[in-house]
């Protein structure tokens, strides 16, 4: 590499993250308060490229390109992680089961990297390589997802979809135009987790649950705490939590399951009829989950006394519970921002986008534009770090959950049905993205037309979460989608050149809706379809 730099003229460039107010700042926000390695790439629907230009310069020879699927790609890209030049995954890798049959099974790319990234006894160069470890994780996931999407594209290039009526019209016109080509390519199906179709269908499923069970009663945001003792006790030497995203996501996944068990099985808020949750990995270096809960009629939060019973927006009393006070001042204090900290990430045009600090209130107001205004009594400020904090800076929380989990758990009461659409669209807002500009180092760019790239942003925690196949989202109930097409408007998937056979099959095929009614024709309650 040193010889290449000397022999070829190079230009130093840097990547600049931009915040465009015309974009959705929930997805295009800039990275804040974290030092992490991430991948930003451009593609259809935010998908990674299937092929990358990986060039090898043999000494005394010309440039040669190798495939990212080559088993020598990883050891050549990361010589420090593979000092013995061990081969990485290849398309013919197999696993021999330790049984009498010695059955051989194909090892997928995802399975290989999940195995490679697992912690084992003894010293591991990979897990002690800091940011290089993060880069390896991100690179492994990008290659895995790129291969999966490439497979979908290559195996569906001849599979087309068209409406029944459109296919009939196309066949009728074929006599006039033999070169007619019907339908459109299927690019990214809803079965691919995190795809736009997948998130849109999840949102529609959530709306069906709202029709059946009613509006949600509570909205929780649960953020991983890197200071959990389970994480700190797993650090080796001078490692910091951000150096081990594999441990962070495993601990957070266990904590999330425990939180849901406390809520749904132990009923700390009452009996839960339905719930949904979505995990996110915004540019903060830590995973977090959004949870929406719907309670039964006896557990509904109806009065301000019910709100005060479960949600507090005041600092804990250090004289009553010192432990809760110490956790609260670290985990549920917003900012601070405004005039005392104008560089806070929440600042927009000199104002806090979350409207902090909040006004003091002696009593809770039950419903103001879909949300309650919580009780925040005026008290003497307390010193938190270099700032003086009062109840106006406190994020609403549940004291029992805060003390048990020692993490930021924002608990909001949904006081009106007005909040439903916003909350569910917020939860299912698709993958995180970045608006970036490539700029020459040391040069002042005066161009009025800038090159903006709306790129998908994949951090190391998200990469390791997906490689371990943890749930990105989950809901308490299964929602079956019943197709309700207009006459001759049902979609038909077919191979190119087999349009006539597809029409014959479609004429005999029943929709999921008609099949449902036939199966449950003697059950009146089953006709209550949403």
Q: Write the burial class of residue 207 (CB in 10 Å: 0-12 exposed, 13-18 middle, 19+ buried).
A: middle
- At 40-72, the pLDDT tens digits run 666 555 555 556 667 777 777 777 778 888 888
pLDDT at 117: 93
Determine, yes or no, domain membership for 78.
no
Confidence of residue 289 (pLDDT cuts 50, 70, 90): very high
pLDDT at 386: 84
Look at residue 169 and tell me whether its pLDDT is greater than 80: no
Give the C-alpha separation, 246 to 118, whole Å. Answer: 8
Confidence of residue 93 (pLDDT cuts 50, 70, 90): confident
pLDDT at 42: 62
Give the C-alpha separation, 152 to 154, whole Å. Answer: 6
Give the C-alpha separation, 290 to 422, whole Å. Answer: 13
Domain identity same for 261 and 367:
yes
Give the C-alpha separation, 514 to 160, whole Å. Answer: 24
Determine, yes or no, domain membership for 271.
yes
Confidence of residue 272 (pLDDT cuts 50, 70, 90): very high
Determine, yes or no, domain membership for 141.
no
Instruction: Tell me the average pLDDT across 188-197.
Output: 71
Instruction: Tell me the average pLDDT across 144-153.
Output: 78
Domain identity same for 224 and 368:
yes
Closest listed residue to residue 413, CA positions, set 497, 341, 312: 312
Domain identity same for 524 and 385:
no
Q: Average pLDDT of the chain?
A: 79
pLDDT at 70: 84
pLDDT at 453: 42
**DSSP string spanning 214-281?**
-S-SEEEEEE--TT-HHHHTT--TT--GGG-HHHHHHHHHHHHHHHHHHHHTS-SSS-EEEEEEEEE-
* Position with higher pLDDT, 321 vs 416: 321
Judge contact between 333 and 395, C-beta under 8 A: yes
pLDDT at 176: 59
Judge contact between 472 and 501, C-beta under 8 A: no
Do the bridges between strand 64-66 and strand 13-18 make them parallel or antiparallel, or are there none, so unpaired?
unpaired
pLDDT at 146: 81
CA 289, chain centre distance (Å): 9
* Position with higher pLDDT, 419 vs 351: 351
Full residue range of the structural domain in which residue 404 is found: 196-431
* Position with higher pLDDT, 455 vs 467: 467
Domain identity same for 342 and 421:
yes
pLDDT at 449: 33
Helix H segments across 433-498?
460-467
Confidence of residue 165 (pLDDT cuts 50, 70, 90): low
Determine, yes or no, domain membership for 321.
yes
Under 8 Å CB-to-CB from 162, ≥6 apart: which residues?
170, 182, 183, 184, 491, 492, 494
Determine, yes or no, domain membership for 28.
no
Domain identity same for 490 and 427:
no
Look at residue 245 and tell me whether its pLDDT is greater than 80: yes
Domain boundary among 431, 461, 477: 431
Q: Write the burial class of residue 205 (CB in 10 Å: 0-12 exposed, 13-18 middle, 19+ buried).
A: buried
Domain identity same for 406 and 496:
no
pLDDT at 10: 64
* Position with higher pLDDT, 106 vs 450: 106
pLDDT at 353: 84
Closest listed residue to residue 408, CA positions, set 335, 306, 504, 505: 335
Closest listed residue to residue 426, CA positions, set 19, 25, 68, 110: 25
Under 8 Å CB-to-CB from 22, ≥6 apart: which residues?
none
Instruction: Tell me the average pLDDT across 265-278.
Output: 94
Helix H segments across 78-195?
109-116, 131-155, 164-173
Instruction: Tell me the average pLDDT across 473-490.
Output: 76
Instruction: Say what percent of the chain tops pLDDT 70.
Output: 69
Determine, yes or no, domain membership for 401.
yes
As for how many domains the chain has, the answer is: 2
pLDDT at 450: 37
* Position with higher pLDDT, 24 vs 114: 114
Instruction: Say what percent of the chain tops pLDDT 90.
Output: 34
Domain identity same for 343 and 491:
no
Look at residue 283 and tell me whether its pLDDT is greater than 90: no
Determine, yes or no, domain membership for 367.
yes
Domain boundary among 410, 431, 452: 431
Give the C-alpha separation, 299 to 213, whole Å. Answer: 13
Look at residue 495 and tell me whether its pLDDT is greater than 90: no
N- to C-terminal Cα distance for the chain?
62
Domain boundary among 387, 404, 431: 431
Judge contact between 294 and 216, C-beta under 8 A: yes
For helices 164-173 and 499-508, give the axis angle rounded to 10 degrees.
Answer: 140
Look at residue 442 and tell me whether its pLDDT is greater than 70: no
pLDDT at 61: 72
* Position with higher pLDDT, 24 vs 174: 174
Closest listed residue to residue 472, CA positions, set 295, 321, 256, 268: 256
Look at residue 247 and tell me whether its pLDDT is greater than 90: yes
Look at residue 22 and tell me whether its pLDDT is greater than 90: no
Instruction: Tell me the average pLDDT across 250-258.
Output: 96
Domain identity same for 421 and 497:
no
Q: Return phi, psi of residue 300, to 5°.
A: -60, 145
pLDDT at 511: 66
Name the CA radius of gyration of the chain, rounded: 27
Helix H segments across 282-347?
304-310, 322-331
Domain identity same for 424 and 489:
no
Report CA dihedral (141, 144, 150, 153) to the nearest 10 degrees: -80
Q: What is the pTM of this model?
A: 0.81
CA 458, chain centre distance (Å): 9
Bridge partners of 371, per DSSP, are 368
Look at residue 312 and tell me whether its pLDDT is greater than 60: yes
Look at residue 446 and tell me whether its pLDDT is greater than 50: no
Query: Which of the residue ranges 95-109, 160-174, 349-363, 429-443 has the most confident prediction, judged by mean pLDDT?
Result: 349-363
Instruction: Tell me the average pLDDT across 165-185.
Output: 61
Determine, yes or no, domain membership for 50.
no
Judge contact between 340 and 387, C-beta under 8 A: yes
Domain identity same for 211 and 301:
yes
Give the C-alpha separation, 294 to 271, whole Å. Answer: 9
Judge contact between 378 and 363, C-beta under 8 A: no
Give the C-alpha separation, 122 to 373, whole Å. Answer: 53
pLDDT at 445: 46
Domain identity same for 224 and 341:
yes
Confidence of residue 481 (pLDDT cuts 50, 70, 90): confident
Judge contact between 372 and 413, C-beta under 8 A: yes
Domain identity same for 427 and 508:
no
């Amino acid at each position: 590499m040193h010889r290449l730099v000397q022999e070829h003229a190079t230009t130093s460039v840097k990547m600049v993250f931009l915040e465009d107010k015309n974009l959705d700042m929930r997805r295009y926000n800039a990275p804040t308060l974290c030092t992490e390695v991430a991948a930003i790439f451009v593609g259809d629907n935010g998908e990674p490229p299937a092929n990358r230009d990986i060039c090898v310069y043999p000494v005394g020879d010309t440039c040669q390109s190798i495939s990212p699927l080559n088993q020598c790609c990883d050891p050549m890209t990361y010589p420090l992680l593979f000092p013995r030049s061990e081969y990485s995954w290849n398309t013919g890798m197999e696993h021999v089961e330790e049984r009498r049959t010695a059955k051989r099974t194909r090892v997928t790319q995802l399975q290989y990297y999940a195995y490679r990234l697992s912690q084992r006894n003894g010293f591991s160069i990979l897990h002690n390589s800091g940011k290089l470890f993060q880069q390896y994780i991100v690179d492994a996931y990008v290659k895995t997802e790129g291969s999966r999407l490439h497979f979908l594209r290559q195996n569906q290039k001849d599979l087309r979809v068209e409406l029944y009526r459109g296919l009939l019209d196309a066949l009728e016109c074929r006599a006039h135009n033999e070169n007619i080509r019907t339908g459109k390519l299927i690019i990214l199906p809803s079965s691919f987790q995190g795809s736009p179709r997948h998130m849109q269908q999840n949102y529609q499923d959530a709306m069906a649950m709202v029709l059946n069970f009613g509006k949600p009663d509570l909205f929780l945001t649960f953020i991983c705490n890197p200071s959990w003792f389970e994480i700190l006790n797993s650090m080796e030497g001078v490692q910091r939590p951000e150096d081990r995203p594999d441990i962070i996501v495993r601990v957070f996944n266990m904590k999330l399951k425990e939180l849901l068990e406390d809520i749904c099985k132990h009923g700390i808020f009452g009996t839960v009829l339905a719930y949904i949750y979505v995990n996110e990995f915004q540019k903060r270096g830590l995973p977090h989950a959004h949870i929406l809960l719907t309670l039964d009629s006896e557990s509904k939060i109806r009065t301000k006394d019910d709100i005060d019973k479960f949600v507090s927006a005041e600092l804990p009393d250090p004289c009553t519970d010192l432990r809760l006070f110490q956790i609260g001042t670290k985990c549920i204090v917003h900012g601070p921002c405004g005039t005392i900290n104008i560089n806070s990430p929440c600042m927009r045009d000199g104002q806090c986008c979350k409207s902090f600090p909040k006004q003091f209130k002696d009593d809770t107001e039950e419903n103001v534009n879909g949300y309650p205004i919580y009780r925040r009594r005026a008290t003497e400020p307390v010193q938190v770090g270099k700032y003086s904090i009062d109840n106006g800076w406190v994020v609403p929380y549940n004291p029992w959950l805060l003390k048990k989990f020692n993490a930021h758990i924002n608990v909001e009461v949904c006081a009106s049905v007005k909040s439903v659409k916003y909350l569910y669209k917020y939860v299912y807002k698709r993958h995180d993205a970045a608006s970036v500009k490539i700029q020459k180092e040391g040069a002042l760019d005066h161009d009025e037309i800038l090159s903006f790239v709306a790129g998908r942003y994949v951090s190391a925690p998200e990469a390791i979460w997906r490689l371990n196949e943890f749930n990105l989202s989950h809901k308490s109930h299964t929602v079956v989608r019943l197709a309700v097409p207009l006459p001759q408007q049902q979609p038909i998937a077919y191979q190119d050149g087999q349009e006539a056979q597809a029409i014959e099959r479609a004429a005999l095929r029943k929709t999921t809706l008609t099949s449902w009614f036939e199966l449950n024709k003697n059950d009146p309650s089953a006709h209550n379809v949403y």
